[in-house]
Amino acid sequence: MATAEHRDTAPYLSMIPPILCPHRLGIIYGAANSPRPLRYFFGATQELVSEAPPTPSVPAKVIYKPAPRARPNMAEPQQKEPQRSINKSQRRAIAEGKLVETVNALSATDFFAKYAPQDSLTELGKSHPEMEWSRLQVDAANVPGRWLDACLQLIEETSAQDYQNSEIKWSPSKKRNEMKSPDMKYIILLHGVSRLAGFVSFMITYEDGYEVLYIYEIHFTPEWRGKGLGKELIKIVEVIGQNVGITKIMLTVFRANRRAVTWYTQLGYEEDDFSPGPRKLRNGTVKEPSYIILSKQVKR
């Protein structure tokens, strides 16, 4: 589900509205066009400059000049990360030691510092020594607008038609709202600091009463498909799940995408017990669901 080793356009992991289904659908491939320019806001510091030595009776004349503007690192959030807002019920759940609420109360910086494998970027560099990599690890509240737009465009260009052909239908606004879900986390892989190579989004949440890590999206631009990067990102997410202590990792895939189902099976994913089965319509027709829920137990 992660690389273009599977299909040019393949639907995959996204949240389906509750009226339609309690699960997610998404894709495994992607292509990004030029993203919308990111607007930066610079603050100027001030330097105290004396024009001439003051005389005893005349105070020094002071001029304030803005310091040179340094170009920010595009791979990093440009604003200080705000504290997570916690409501009363979440506070009570944290006090009771509930895993999902406790983990989601962390800032993205603290979350990735505590649970993500710190050598993962080094391993990517070893597998692709010709490239200069950088990685942006953020939550939905702090993903820069430039990269959110690029990721959404990546999804739309490769999966909009697949969604439109299903009962879900494609809606850019609904997809963007899903991508901005408060507990959504992103690992955005950049070629250098200015070009999107791919990304994965996931959430620590409850599913059918279990504490799980749910993968929503994983996509790569054309030049980075079929190079094993999808498997690398999946491994990173699995390590995060193991470190968090969740029960299993889950995802959703369209049944028609047999190559993707096979790929996940090779990675150890199996059809989940809660994956929907066929249903009989009023006219007697048996209808197979368009998607399958896969999961993988997390070793502790």
Q: Is residue 80 part of a domain?
A: no
Q: Is residue 58 part of a domain?
A: no
Question: What is the span of the domain harbouring residue 128?
Answer: 11-35+86-297
- Mode of pairing for the β-strands spanning 184-191 and 133-139: antiparallel
Q: Is residue 6 part of a domain?
A: no
Q: Per the structure, how many domains does the chain have?
A: 1
Q: Is residue 273 part of a domain?
A: yes
Q: Is residue 120 part of a domain?
A: yes
Mean pLDDT by 10 residues, the chain (300 residues): 41 39 44 34 34 47 42 43 62 77 96 89 69 88 96 89 80 96 96 89 95 95 89 95 96 83 93 91 86 90
- pLDDT score of 80: 54
Q: Is residue 174 part of a domain?
A: yes
Q: Is residue 1 part of a domain?
A: no
Strands (E) located in 171-297: 184-191, 195-207, 210-220, 248-254, 270-271, 279-280, 286-287, 291-297
Q: Is residue 50 part of a domain?
A: no
- pLDDT score of 42: 29
For the domain that residue 172 is a member of, what is the CATH number? 3.40.630.30
Can you name the residues that pair with 270 across neighbouring β-strands? 295
- pLDDT score of 88: 64
- pLDDT score of 234: 95
